[in-house]
Amino acid sequence: NLPHAMLFLIAVFSGSVYGGSISAILINIPGTPGAIVTQMDGYPMARNGRAGEALTYALLASTLGGMLGWILLVILAPMIASVALAFQSPEYAAIALFGLAMLAYSSPGSTFLGLIAGVIGLLVATVGLDPTTDVERFTFGFGSLQLGLGIIPAAVGIFGIAEVLKGIEHGGPRLKPIERLSRMMPPWKEASRLWVTGLRGSIIGAFVGAIPAAGSAIAVAVAYAQEKRRSKNPDKFGTGIPAGIVAPESANNACVGGALIPLITLGIPGDSMTAVLVGALLIHGLRPGPAMFEQHLDFVAIVYVALLFAVAATLAIGLVGNRYFARILRAPRPMLLTAVTVLCIVGSYAVRNSLYDVVVMIGFGGVGYVMNRVGIPTAPVIFGMVLGPILEENVRRSMIIYDDWSVFVTRPISAAVLAISLATLVLPGLRALAGQLARRKARRA
């Protein structure tokens, strides 16, 4: 029946969002696109012997984000939906660029290298059939390439296989096992300073999640970049600090409640998972939209209860299961590397039951290994692949509708978002240049 179906689907939705962080932290393979940013600090923290604490930070941040997303869904859904409705194709394109700019800024090392990696991801996203005209692009006569290069095999390869190759070459320090539950809990003094970080990330995630098609990938990039910008020690991001886990994880899980807002109030799916929920509703004869609050208030109540239950269940399962998840690090390194390789192959094949995806995964594994060797960040490549279709489709739709490039700078929201994106990319370079000039002037004096 419908209540059970909604409870099941929303629980799977919420649980999978948190579950993606577990593999990201322990074996450097994000389980979902929203967990790509989590692994930037989660995995280094695990390598520093704090895997249990990293899992707990992710769990608590996920719970905070899920609860705040639920509160905003219950209290502010109609208001947030009306704001999100003001976004059209130019705004979506600007937000996609904004997300890429945020991740380039947040990437460890140079913002310029992060931007290059993001552009590489955008180019890779164009491989396959043109979404508008079905014209082949960069297929070089290979029929398999018409399917494009899958995001999941690419992410598994560029993170998982690249880490396996690195482990085979260098070995590296064995991660410290977690044996007692007490060692799973982070220091209270450290954790108590991060509630504002979690609150800020949750608000960002809920509002970005409410924008149809924006998705968690943009939300986590914005939350991470904002936290790095506010930090007194931005250079520590990417080295394994708790704030680098709390910010994206709270935003990631707040997106669940945010994505349900346009679904219930407008009948518009907030992301791919809520599109599945729309299908389930249509099967049961319900059409989500503005009339839902008048004609099917009982269903709205079911959604509210289901999301609250999912958040509580995720917290309970995480508190019990994290110490067992962390024990994976007790495995001998050769066995762990072998298991990771097998999981990478199986996971890539399972996407479309195709060996083609396994080949893509292996290829991206080699690319990720080379990028790690030369110091180019890998996360922006996958983000570019995620945001590429959003950017391309909305740019082309904008040109079809308005037939004028100036629409991106004459519409207030898109112009403001593009200006912030440009400032995010340019200001760090200007600050670095000003610092160099000041040091030269001091030496001459």
With the CA atoms of 180, 186, 188 and 192 taken in that order, what torsion angle do they form, in degrees rounded to the nearest 10? -150
Q: What is the pLDDT of residue 92?
A: 84
- C-alpha pair distances (Å), 43 with each of 35, 124, 157, 226, 255: 11, 26, 16, 20, 23
Residue 34 lies in a domain: yes
- CB-based contact 375:109 (threshold 8 Å): yes
For a pLDDT cut of 90, what percent of the chain falls above it?
18
Amino acid identity of residue 419, one-letter, is: A
Residue 444 lies in a domain: no
Residue 125 lies in a domain: yes
Q: What is the pLDDT of residue 214?
A: 66
Number of domains in the chain: 1
Q: Is the pLDDT of residue 63 over 90?
A: yes
Domain that holds residue 405: 2-438
Distance, CA of 327 to CA of 215 (rounded, Å): 32
Q: What is the pLDDT of residue 176?
A: 52
Q: Is the pLDDT of residue 227 over 60?
A: yes
Residue 445 lies in a domain: no
What pLDDT band is residue 302 in, cutting at 50, 70 and 90?
Answer: confident
Q: What is the pLDDT of residue 173?
A: 45
Residue 443 lies in a domain: no
Which 3 state secondary structure label does DSSP give 343?
Answer: helix
Q: What is the pLDDT of residue 95?
A: 84
Tens digits of per-residue pLDDT, 143-172? 888 888 888 899 889 988 988 888 887 764
Residue 325 lies in a domain: yes
Q: Is the pLDDT of residue 373 over 60?
A: yes
More confident residue, 103 or 66: 66
Enter the pTM of the model.
0.77
